[in-house]
Structure 1
């Protein structure tokens, strides 16, 4: 449930925080909160799935979404690429709603394309720590049993053995491996070889439910093996709106008008 931070003085003013909270979350307010079916608070007018959240990018078209060095990716280009990959995940690889899609790469722009393609395809996105060793990757892969691995070239050799053993599909981003032993016997496609996305093409016709699993995020494993923490679409959609609530509450706490 949204909450406000203490005032800058460090002396909590619970009465003021409660008034700000009530102002922002009352019926008809920008962050109106209602109790869901399970008795937990939800944003009344916010997106209820990550697919609803990402579909709003249609409205931003040519506005820059990501900048990486000399490269700029617009919202329209991003959504077209994510939609095209989502269609491929379902139609070429035969993945179905609820199947897991692992993402193992550094912070390339394609990380966002891979994550949101999984959501548009109705899959459960499983981002893995790019710093992990092969043993750590194998532990998580055995645990979540993904149907596809969306990886960059730096991670490929750490997951190739598992993919070869299980027959999982691999989509390789930023990979310069040839046809040597690393890719031998893998069901591997190179992202750079895919056709250019059609900017008018739609994502797959799937509609995840708010209660469906959206992500599995692995813990740090400080007291043992990392464990997969599952979050639903509704939980992640609410988490995406929480920073906006916090910013509005902070502005009101300073006596300013929220943007």
Structure 2
């Protein structure tokens, strides 16, 4: 116990030196959108400034895939050329949306940075969306153009999308070659929109989360601060010089884990982003860690669990020095299995809590925190304030469960074209109501539940209402309820309880196909109960989800 307290005190001492007056990460209070928010005093004011500074990183690897290594210098040139093409061919300017619909690949990141040159807003659509979901996204954010990989470009064509589509495999390289040597520049303000990513909403419709230049630059600065903190913690000097780490990205770029917290900050730190090819395969990932000398990996618990099914002794994993579990809660048993089998997990295993709206992790559990309490999700990171509130909005004492509320320079501007949802989520003092529940004890946050009916399937958030709406559109379905049931590999899987007049009148396969035509594959229920019994409801008519089961 004494050792843990001493380590915490040392970390606080190092942080104070970094963030105090005259420190490289000096913090100050400024008015941001009508509220006093802590911000980094010495900061860049837009993502375009980050891009311009990255030119000096030269021949260091930035984006690495199976078929190419793109250096920072090559990326800088290509981003300028693509921006010029988008401006001159498609008339894209400040505030216009550029859709991105693709699996992870270097061109995804390149498109993001090209948009920043124009002051345009890249929109990261979920690459696994079904056609009806894609149609909704296009209608909602109205992109001038969509840049897509071949598979999604074909899906757009099949769906009859009327927006121009640029393919990443053929059209994009040709445009970059044609407009080489051009670097459009525009002026943006810190609180101008910089990006839109979609998150499922409890109303059943995905919401477009808008992050500003301030938000995303602050996230990048947070990662630099973490580097400086770790150097100071070890008694080493830190001057902001680029490092030579290699970050493996296995979460989609349309999530904050890979975009905000991996690809973007590397322009600040000079590290490489490594893209695996194809779907997740444990042996392929282990081989990539060995061959590319991966130093850092943030995995969802499902991936980490699958990793343990492989023979780890066949691979040289000595380069791996940073390892975190992200996107979904991890069980104490999984954490312990990782420590027993994966050397890096013995000394560097971390986890965190955050959401798309928070921009980055709000709290991080260091290795010592997890050893002391495997269910902890950590302490607030720099510039983040966390409060636990009751239904009336009052702050509750330590140890008392309530809604997790967050305020920081990383928190989103709001939801795209949805003032009502924004007002419901962010108050006048810029506090974000997460809809998640937990409690704080001795400064450490622990989750008590995530949005009461949210299902976490292999790192993907699945909201029941969206699936219920799709099921209820079936002519034989009277009502339906979606619940999450435990699954050894995925954490949870989706289960459906469907009420019909005659259970023999419809089959599971028919209902499964009905949902699959409307929603992404991970939202399609894997388990079913078809019944004539009405769903249990409370006095106000709401379904009592806690009383639901498959009756097995």
Q: Do these two structures clear the TM 0.5 threshold for a shared fold by scoring above it?
A: yes
What residue is the counterpart of 1:204 in the other structure? 184
Shift of the 104–195 alpha-carbon distance from structure 1 to 2, 3 Å rule, reads closer
2:24 to 24, 30, 37: 30
1:47 to 25, 34, 44: 44
TM-score normalised by L of structure 2 = 0.40
1:241 to 205, 211, 221: 221
What residue is the counterpart of 2:174 in the other structure? 193
What does 1:85-124 correspond to in 2, within 5 Å?
A: 85-124=82-121
Q: CA deviation at 1:149?
A: 0.4
Bigger CA drift: 68-77 or 142-151?
68-77
1:135 to 113, 132, 137: 132
Q: CA deviation at 1:135?
A: 1.7
More strand by share: 2
Aligned 8 A contact 1:80 1:197 in 2: no
What residue is the counterpart of 2:212 in the other structure? 232
Q: CA deviation at 1:12?
A: 8.8
State the distance in 2 between where 1:197 and 1:225 align: 40
Three-state SS of the structure 2 residue aligned to 1:114 is helix
What residue is the counterpart of 1:78 in the other structure? 75
What residue is the counterpart of 1:216 in the other structure? 196
Indicate yes or no: 2:153 matched with 1:172: no
Three-state SS of the structure 2 residue aligned to 1:154 is helix
What residue is the counterpart of 2:145 in the other structure? 148
State the distance in 2 between where 1:9 and 1:228 align: 44
Bigger CA drift: 77-86 or 218-227?
218-227
Number of residue pairs matched? 235
List structure 1 runs of 4+ shifted beyond 6 angstroms.
Answer: none
State the distance in 2 between where 1:57 and 1:197 align: 23
What 5-or-longer segments of structure 1 have no aligned partner?
A: 1-6, 176-189
TM-score normalised by L of structure 1 = 0.80
Shift of the 13–71 alpha-carbon distance from structure 1 to 2, 3 Å rule, reads closer
